[in-house]
Structure 1
Amino acid sequence: MGEPLSCWSFMEFGRKSESEQKDAASRDQTGDCNGSSLNGSNNGNARNTPEMAIYEQYRNRGKITPQLNGVSHDRFNEKPQKPLLPPFESADMRALAESLCRDIIRGSPDVKWESIKGLENAKRLLKEAVVMPIKYPKYFTGLLSPWKGILLFGPPGTGKTMLAKAVATECRTTFFNISASSVVSKWRGDSEKLVKVLFELARHHAPSTIFLDEIDAIISQRGGGSSEHEASRRLKTELLIQMDGLMRTDELVFVLAATNLPWELDAAMLRRLEKRILVPLPEPEARRAMLEELLPSVPGEEELPYDVLVENTEGYSGSDIRLLCKEAAMQPLRRVMVLLEEKQEVVPEEELPKVGPIKGEDIKIALKNTRPSAHLHAQLYDKFNADYGSQIL
């Protein structure tokens, strides 16, 4: 009897030609057999770690199936989906892309326009700049090509991140949630490579949205003296180059940037962020809608003084209003906690007393204990909006 056929024997029997091997390698459709390399080499060496990790992602997601005798066994007979990564010129770039995919590619953020109270002007500008070009690309050609760079600026806690997530949800785009830690590396030259790989990934998964949160930490004004490092300068230059490349293509890749300090941004980045939208503090109607949603009135109980709350929350951001409602909701619970502390033994869960409704006195205490945190630079935001902002008249 002959020796039993091993996995490697099947490979030798069904080996592809050299041209077929190159085509297969370019499509990144490789099989695995006991950790041996199947991408056109027959020396039995193990795959390197980045490629193996990518292969495992493909295998777990059902993107590809192992090959036997050069034939793919797909029991579901589905069409091949888009690969996780585009082809890169080097293994280093592929490894950087793998780390970006693992850290920042997200599914749908599941944030609807209706969940954001107020900000009608900002919503309208975002729909005009991003949502409509994706839904109706026929109208946005030539001079009316969609804006590729959008800046959301305003006080902290006003809903800039929520607006970016609502855009990604509405458009069903691939959402890249980027912060400074995602594109800054301690290794020389890797930061600018990460920026380049990020935009290549965004083009590969288009339509996609790149959300640069707190962009002032990444690309502040250049030439600020000896405090600016050479690596920081190279990172900023690469980001500007990639942004400029987006404007010269028809690919649906949008860059949404958010900042609380728009006056610290570099002038070249402001030019590339074509739409600059102010996300202001909530108006009285928006504040009332937030309060009614967070503190709904209980039938048969005392009506909460919404008018007093709206009047006394001038200058509060959406985050401040949420903290105010949380403080008001804590008052009935504190009364229950006082009763529980008087008892020496732990009360069983089924015997715990019921938490009462929120009263008018609770609202007054919450107003005393909660102060606005985002009204200090209101004049600076208004001046920046008058100088650079986009508005609908």
Structure 2
Amino acid sequence: MNLAEICDNAKKGREYALLGNYESSVVYYQGVIQQIHKHCQSLRDPALKAKWHQVRQELAEEYEQVKGIMGTLESFRSEKPADVLAPQWEERPEDPAVWPPPTPAEHRCVCVLKRPNSAVKQQRKDSPSLQHRGAAGPGGRGQANSKPDRQASRDARGTKAKDDKGKKDMSGDAEQKKFDGTGHDSDLVDSLERDIVSRNPNVHWDDIADLEDAKKLLREAVVLPMWMPDFFKGIRRPWKGVLMVGPPGTGKTMLAKAVATECGTTFFNVSSSTLTSKYRGESEKLVRLLFEMARFYAPTTIFIDEVDSICGRRGTSDEHEASRRVKSELLVQMDGVGGALDNDDPSKMVMVLAATNFPWDIDEALRRRLEKRIYIPLPSAVGRVELLKINLREVDVAADVDLGLIAEKIEGYSGADITNVCRDASMMAMRRRIQGLSPEEIRALSKDELQMPVTREDFTLTLKKISKSVSTADLEKYEAWMAEFGSV
């Protein structure tokens, strides 16, 4: 079965329906539904077969809608011209009825007859476009009453457009503003638009265990200026940059998303690949365009992950000229953002959040612009218990599981390590259940048979396989750097 042919037939059926050629549309819909039915019979994968059944059901619903439109139009065709025109003959007998020219079959949508006035009669003789339109538009501009046939045709052709518009209105996309890329390369604008993760990442403070000091500082740097704009002015102006330093997997990215959610800002997730181009001079343009778009979508949070890869120390022997220009443009734009904040209200605020695992490789000028430099440490004992509860809230836990005891055993584990421990332990019961079964028997298992609670033995086996990812030497390097350059 040619899948490309199935897609092409479905596309043609929809296009003919939108153009008003419902008879051809019905034929294509019938053909593609039969093709999908034959294709499903040849499939062996139940999941893939279920997806094709769903596609067939959706096309069948569209087919019924087109048939319904055809039935509505047939009800208009069933009216007799004499019955429609009789009252008009009595009102104005001096103006005879004029039959419109015959309409080609491929353009015929509605055949309700109307009596045009003399001006429209002369215009129809002179205008080929009106002849081509046929009975769909016999009325003149000066006619006050709306035409039922024109309205029916407009409703029929605009069914899909109205449905799409309704979906947009429900999702709120219609109210969101769009950046005008006039004067910029459209490809660069599109590439940055794709990096707007969300205007609401939906990550809250409660989703992040522990890290109370980091949360407090980020609230003061970003959230409070939005709530108290009159206070954060002059020397109390908001911080223009915050650098989060810490081992991998401690929650730096989640903190950035929580900041964007709590103060309702647009969230830009920027990496080194986002601001890199093979063409000379485009990387600098991308940096400048990024900050222009951030000011347009303000209030905005620009999160630069692994900032050391973008703005490493300048003046080294292995530094390329293009890399130096990108760093210089980034530093200039960050100073521009800070200057804009001096007099603007917080609703126009652009906050730069940066995260790195190698703070000692960052350029000194960037370190100065990131005025607040906070340490995101490994979770404490209380934080480890909270992380276990957060990760296990969707699974059943046996009564013999002591989360406090497990938290003691995973001392030195990062947040990502603890998540891996919980994920592996939650799969232990499933592994025991399917051990020794054939593929057919595994597919026949119900969901309830696999929903078994996580036991203490599961955690014991998991901790033997998963070790911590951060060494003691790494922690000492972070603490030494924070002692010298930290700004909490």
Indicate the residue corresponding to 1:162 in structure 2.
254
Q: CA offsets per residue over residues 93-114 of structure 1, 9 Å max, x none?
A: x542233113435231100100
Find the residue that maps to 1:282 and give its secondary structure.
Answer: coil
Runs of 4+ residues deviating >4 angstroms = 80-83, 296-299, 343-347
Kept in 1: contact 2:244–2:376 (CA 8 A) = yes
Counterpart of 2:274 (choices 138, 161, 182) is 182
Shift of 1:86: 4.1
Who is 1:229 aligned against?
A: 320
1:288 aligns with 2:380: no
The aligned residue for residue 420 of structure 2 is 323
2:337 alignment partner, one of 240, 246, 270: 246
Render the CA deviation track for 1:230-255: whole Å, top value 9, x for unaligned.
Answer: 11010000000001111111241110
Partner of residue 121 from structure 1, selected from 208, 213, 219: 213
Q: Which residue of 2 aligns with 1:368?
A: 464
SS at 1:277's partner residue?
Answer: strand
Match of 1:2 in 2: 126
Compute the displacement of 1:331 (Å). 1.8
Change in Cα spacing, 1:335 to 1:98, as seen in structure 2 (3 Å) is closer
Cα RMSD after superposing both structures: 2.5
Structural mapping, 1:20-99, within 5 Å: 83-86=177-180, 88=182, 90-92=183-185, 94-99=186-191
Q: Relative contact order, CA 8 A, sep 6+: which one is greater?
A: 1
Which moved further from structure 2: 105-114 or 214-223?
105-114
| 1:117 counterpart SS class | coil
Give the TM-score normalised by the residue count of structure 2. Answer: 0.61
Secondary structure of the 2:427 match is: helix
2:181–2:189 Cα contact (<8 Å) kept: no
CA shift digits 1:204-241 (9 cap, x unpaired): 1111111101111100001110x211110100000000
Does the 8 Å CA contact 2:396/2:452 hold for their aligned counterparts? no
Match of 2:359 among 240, 243, 262: 262
Which residue of structure 2 lines up, in the alignment, with residue 306 of structure 1?
403
State the alpha-carbon separation in 2 of the partners of residues 267 and 146 from structure 1: 21
Q: Helix, strand or coil: the match of 2:285? A: helix
* Deviation string, structure 1 residues 275-306 (Cα, Å, up to 9, x no partner): 1111110000010111133336958x432022
Tell whether the 8 Å contact from 2:195 to 2:268 is kept in structure 1 after alignment.
no
Gaps of 5+ in 2: 1-124, 131-163, 167-173, 342-347
- Give the CA deviation at 1:83: 4.6
Which residue does the alignment assign to 2:434? 337
Q: Which moved more, 1:170-179 or 1:355-364?
A: 355-364
1:344 to partner: Cα distance: 7.3
Q: Which amino acid aligns with 2:383?
A: A
Alpha-carbon distance in 2 for matches of 1:190, 1:332: 53
Partner amino acid, structure 2, of 1:221 = R
Structure 1 306/219 Cα, relative in aligned 2: closer, same or farther at 3 Å? same
The question of whether the paired residues in 2 share the 8 Å contact of 1:212 and 1:258 is answered with yes
- Name the % identity: 46
1:181 is aligned with what amino acid? Answer: S
1:140-199 residue CA offsets vs partner (Å, 9 max, x unmatched): 000000001111110000000000000000111111111111111001000000000000
Unaligned residue ranges in structure 1 (runs of 5+): 7-59, 63-79
Answer whether contact 1:340 1:347 (CA < 8 A) is retained: no
Q: Is the 8 A contact 2:314 2:363 kept in 1?
A: yes
3-state DSSP of counterpart to 1:366: helix
Find out whether 1:138 has 2:230 as its counterpart.
yes
Q: Which moved more, 1:373-382 or 1:169-178?
A: 373-382
**Match status 1:213 vs 2:310:** no
**Cα distance in 2 between the residues matched to 1:4 and 1:145:** 67
